[in-house]
Amino acid sequence: MKIAIGSDKSGFILKEAVKNHLINSNYDVIDIGTKDIEKPMPYFEVAPIGAKMIQNKECDRAILICGTGMGMAIVANKYQGVYAACVESLYAAKKCRSINNANILTMGGWIISDVMGIEMVDAFLNTEFTQDLEEWRQEFLKKAYVKVQEIENEVFENSL
């Protein structure tokens, strides 16, 4: 699995811990910045890179980290086909995949410790859409996902 990972200055320390964990776990990792804490990139420059990589299928998932995770999620979600979830717990990291089929995980470097961030990333990467859910809920969520994509397509078509 190919993973893009990026941060601004506030998420740099957590990004580095997660990146090292992913590399040691044999993931194909693409660091999209900030690569040098002395030359940080703002969240609104990093998030589009990750979002476009998801759109263009250059990576399977992305992990974006800023101070709260919210700025990264807001910017990434401006791109069609991107479903970025800002999470602050292991439970939410699993559910954003199993329920919402999120393809980008955003976290806050001011909020999440390295140990918790790594656990959340593992949960995010190892959970599939509708995994471990009752059959009726799986059917409902698959239909809901199609409806969300229809809404998204309508919004993007009307904005052109």
The tally of domains found in the chain comes to: 2
Query: Are β-strands 2-7 and 28-31 bridged in parallel, bridged antiparallel, or unpaired?
Result: parallel
Residue 34: CATH number of its domain = 3.40.1400.10
Active site residue: 59, 66, 86, 96, which one? 66
Q: What does the alpha-carbon distance between residue 54 and residue 23 come to, in Å, rounded to a whole number?
A: 19
Check whether residue 106 and residue 140 sit in a common domain.
no
81 and 138 fall within a common domain: no
Q: What is the pTM of this model?
A: 0.97
Domain extent for 104: 2-129
**What is the per-residue pLDDT across 20-46, written as a single tens digit (0 to 9) for each?**
999 999 999 999 999 999 999 999 999
Q: Is 59 a catalytic residue?
A: no
Residue type, 17: A
Same domain flag for 78 and 142: no
Q: What are 51-71's pLDDT values in tens digits? A: 999 999 999 999 999 999 999
**Residue 128 has which token pair?**
């599939």
| Residue 132 buriedness (CB in 10 A; 0-12 / 13-18 / 19+) | exposed
Please, which residues bridge with residue 11 across strands?
none
State the Cα–Cα distance between residues 14 and 92, nearest whole angstrom.
18
